[in-house]
Structure 1
Amino acid sequence: MTVLHSCPKFASNEGVRDALTQALGEHVLGSQEEHGEISIVVERGSIEDVLRTLRDDHDYQQLMEIAGVDYPGREERFEVVYMLLSLTKNHRIMAKVSTDETTPVPTVTTLWPNAGWLEREVFDLFGVTFDGNTDLRRILTDYGFEGHPFRKDFPLTGYTELRYSEEEKRVVYEPVELAQDFRSFDFTSPWEGADYVLPGDEKADVPPIDDPKVTEGPKDTGAGPKTDAKAAERVSAGAPAEEESGEERTKAPEPTEDRPDREKRKGGTRDTKAATEPEKDED
């Protein structure tokens, strides 16, 4: 039995971009489709009207995320990206606006309550302000944090570091102090030809060994009858212990491969005490 559902498993982008740009009209500054995703660039002051139209007239019910992007080379360096989801169409689109460090972006908390938290995150990490957001506070960084860590000109180590002081019994903030090794960076790629010897490359100048040592036979290892005879010599001949006892040193055992096979054990069993008992003659 075939069951039809109002929400498709897969939604195509065919015709969606043209339909949305036509519906939004003069608010649209540009649009593109890359990697299977549609993004529409709109005017900053029209973002609330654009998102309301997409929500009410084109069934993009949910605001999934608001993200920030920093392009330091642009006049308006920041880009705010709104990601929308249509549950009934199973489709996603992105709306984008641009701004600078001082110009605020209209808030969309009038359309989605969760936008308050998302706008606070963009403000905290990028410094973008939102006009109309009544609770625009930092949300991820610590109290008293200065700067915005996701800006491209913000150092990865930051400007201050915090630690707990046992003397003052509180958390203290101090300027970041790095060792010289961490403050001097060499961005020269080894494949582009560095003017110094890279660690490990000094071994490349060592000439190869002409006669490598091998152990392919007894001659190479030093084994053989002469070596065995040398090892059997009495190094401590005439030692005081031997003179007093009068006993000769016990000879070294013969090599196991030269020993004759042991005679077969007599007895009814092999691994018990009875194995050592002689067999009884039967009367």
Structure 2
Amino acid sequence: MAAVLHSAPRFASNEGVKDALSTALGAMLVSAKEEHGEIVLTVKRASIEDVLRLLRDEHDYQQLMEMAGVDYPGRAERFEVVYMLLSLTRNHRVMVKVSTDEATPVPTVTTLWPNAGWLEREVFDMFGVLFDGNTDLRRILTDYGFEGHPFRKDFPLTGYHELRYSEEEKRVVYEPVQLAQDFRSFDFMSPWEGADYILPGDEKADVPPVAEPMTTEKPSQTGAGAKADAKAAEKKSAGAPAEKDSDTKDAGAPDPTEDRPDEPARKGSVTGTKAATETDKKEEGE
């Protein structure tokens, strides 16, 4: 069978890719590095559309595979938008990053890939990043009327609102989250070892002091008090009637079979099984 040749290599190499792309991007590039076996390019936010068009048209990264958001609350520009590109002809991937804040929009790349519209909507829904030029920037994962962006680090785990279906209003209603009880502080101690402090409510418990174990020297001492000891020392009643001796002699076991007399002889001319069978055959022949 002839070998099948393909233009794309089986294993992609990063050798020379970072330097070549860095040179091609020029002033639009902020930084470039190779990390975890991938080429990562950080570019200027305003130049993202030009950067991706250059990578698509001149360096054969034809497909936008995915977009993702990352939140770093400690940074001035807390959000990163990450674009994952794939070259089908070279079997190679690169990651392109831009930074932004809550108010500054990122230029849309829906002009380059139609699927970017759905991906930008997801980043907007989860992180609140705005995309300038996206004509359909709506929420895509959360429900109608949802407030906040769930993937932000400062978003509360319980959310701001809860929803339920109201039988009275016959629709889904939103209500502020009301916790059934306040959050408690745990010291992460083992419950079997016990805490070093008195928990609220424990001071009301009436727990008797633990005494030393009771030991007894005689069976009559039960350890339950003088009255119980006197009861235990009482003499027991007589035994059951079956335990008393009787004048009736026990019949005993039957005599052995060998000592029994022989049974009387059987009436008739034939006593053996074989002779009886032969007699029956003779009678049938007659």
Counterparts of 1:12 and 1:164, CA distance in 2 = 55
Aligned to 1:218: none
Number of matched pairs? 207
Q: Distance in 2 between matches of 1:200 and 1:35?
A: 44
Partner of 1:201: helix, strand, or coil? coil
Q: 1:166 matched to which residue of 2? A: 167
Structure 1 unaligned residues grouped into runs of 5+ = 191-196, 204-234, 240-247, 249-279
The corresponding residue for 2:79 is: 78
3-state DSSP of counterpart to 1:46: helix
Code of the residue aligned with 1:27 in structure 2: it is: M
TM-score computed with the length of structure 1 as normaliser: 0.68
- Output the CA distance in 1 between the equivalents of 2:194 and 2:128: 48
The one-letter amino acid of 1:34's match is: E
Aligned partner of 1:255 in structure 2 is none
Cα displacement string for residues 222-278 of structure 1 (whole angstroms, at most 9, x for unaligned residues): xxxxxxxxxxxxx98349xxxxxxxx9xxxxxxxxxxxxxxxxxxxxxxxxxxxxxx
- Aligned equivalents of 1:238, 1:54: Cα separation in 2: 110
Q: Which residue of 2 aligns with 1:53?
A: 54
Partner of 1:178 in structure 2?
A: 179
Distance 1:177 1:165 in 2: 17
In 1, the alpha carbon distance for the partners of 2:144 and 2:185 equals 31
Question: Cα distance 1:281–1:47, how it changes in 2: closer, same or farther (>3 A)?
Answer: same
Shift of 1:178: 2.1
Residue 100 of structure 2 corresponds to which residue in structure 1?
Answer: 99
TM-score (norm 2): 0.67
Spell out, residue by residue over 1:56-96, the C-alpha distance to the aligned partner (whole angstroms, 9 max, x if none). 00000000111000000000000000000001111110000
* Equivalent residue, structure 1, for 2:7: 6
Please give the residue correspondences for 1:241-260 in structure 2 after superposition, counting only pairs within 5 Å: none
Is 2:12 aligned against 1:20? no
Deviation at 1:281, TM superposition (A): 5.7
After superposition, where does 1:183-222 map in structure 2 within 5 Å? Answer: 183-186=183-186, 197-202=189-194
Alpha-carbon separation, structure 2, partners of 1:142 and 1:236: 85
Structure 2 gap ranges (5+): 196-237, 243-247, 249-271, 276-286
The equivalent of 2:127 in structure 1 is 126
**Map of 1:29 onto structure 2:** 30
In structure 2, the residue matched to 1:38 is 39
Secondary structure in structure 2 of the residue aligned to 1:29: strand
Q: Distance in 2 between matches of 1:171 and 1:105?
A: 34
The Cα of 1:9 is off from its aligned counterpart by 1.2
Runs of 4+, deviation exceeding 4 Å: 280-283
Correspondence for 1:115: 116
Q: Which amino acid aligns with 2:5?
A: L
1:143-182 Cα deviation digits (max 9, x unpaired): 011111100000111011101111221111111122336x
CA displacement, residues 17-74 of structure 1 (integer Å, 9 cap, x when unaligned): 1110111001000011111111100000000000000000000000011100000000
Q: CA deviation at 1:201?
A: 2.4
Q: Does 1:237 align with 2:229?
A: no
Q: Percent identity?
A: 75
Give the letter aligned to residue 40 of structure 1: L
Task: Report the CA distance shift for 1:7/1:236 in structure 2 as closer, same or farther (over 3 A).
Answer: farther
Which position in structure 1 is the counterpart of 2:265?
Answer: none
